[in-house]
Structure 1
């Protein structure tokens, strides 16, 4: 018997001062049985930090082989941003950058290991792809506050992330790395 996805809801108050983005979001996030809470939380944070018109979680979720965790489509449905989460395969990042013209990676894992996995591989315009990482203690504390129904405030100022998740306040820098 196949396990089904667990639905989590997030009511998000987003204030990204760095980009001038201020939105109220209602997100329904299906957590695939093979997906851990750290990955799901990083996926939600990536969605918020990349928020723009046309953004969406991929149709197949984590198990999708054709799409990233988060993507942005224009009005013609063409993919304009390919956002991977975790420790993606270099081939996926290469394909996404060629297809969309803009790609990013958000990781809750050790960025040194993620960069080593991607470094030296054939990736279209690798130097233009940011790899963002979050402090491990920040992710662990945020995961501890996760529930099925979540209220979340996400604020970004000077690449510092301030998160209030179900009454728990946390902050961490958004570290940016580049593929070499």
Structure 2
């Protein structure tokens, strides 16, 4: 018998002063049995960092993620079903990234493992022809600090100012400084 996803709920307050995006969102996150707390929290962080200011071009949504290998972790689809923004976590190979690049207006990869420099050095030169791609690294010690915030029911605040992210709960706080490995050419 297959294990079922564990459902987590999060009340997420966002104050992104860099993008002028503010709001409160009630999220339901299905955590795949093989997904770690760290990965789930990075997914929530990715949601907070990429939520559009309005829904004129569609909503940002969690996908089936690990349950559906052809889908990203999050995506924004427009009203016609076209992919506006494809967001992958971890260290996808260059074929997956280029396939996403062909399907979406924007592609973002967020890597959070300590092995990110090794992964990036192996694929960086293969992605020079991907102008719609942005690749970010979250330092491993910062993403691992998010584990302490993972609960079945969470109240999270994410504040972004000058590229620095403060993610907090009533009991804990983590400062995150993402590092750009590749920025979009737009």
Query: Does TM-score exceed 0.5, indicating one fold?
Result: yes
Q: 2:121 aligns with which of 104, 113, 116?
A: 116
1:38 maps to which residue? 38
Q: Where does residue 177 of structure 2 map in the other structure?
A: 173
Evaluate the alpha carbon distance shift between residue 149 and residue 92 of structure 1 in structure 2; reply closer, same or farther with a 3 A threshold.
same
Question: Which 5+ residue runs of structure 2 have no aligned equivalent?
Answer: none
Name 2:9's counterpart in structure 1. 9
Give yes or no for contact 1:81–1:103 (8 Å, CA) kept in 2: yes
Which of 99, 105, 117 is 1:101 aligned to?
Answer: 105
Matching of residues 13-162 of structure 1 within 5 Å: 13-52=13-52, 53=55, 54-58=59-63, 60-110=64-114, 111-121=116-126, 123=127, 125-162=129-166
Does the 8 Å CA contact 1:127/1:178 hold for their aligned counterparts? Answer: no
Q: How many residues align?
A: 177
Structure 1 unaligned residues grouped into runs of 5+:
none
Q: CA deviation at 1:90?
A: 1.5
After TM superposition, what 4+ stretches of structure 1 lie above 6 angstroms from structure 2? none
Contact 2:5 2:33 (C-alpha < 8 Å) held by counterparts? yes
Counterpart of 2:158 in 1: which secondary structure? strand
Aligned residue for 1:167, secondary structure, equals: coil
Q: What is the TM-score when the length of structure 2 is the normalising length?
A: 0.88
With structure 1 as the length reference, what TM-score do the two structures score? 0.90
Structure 2: distance between partners of 1:124 and 1:82: 18
What is the CA distance between 1:47 and its match in structure 2? Answer: 1.1
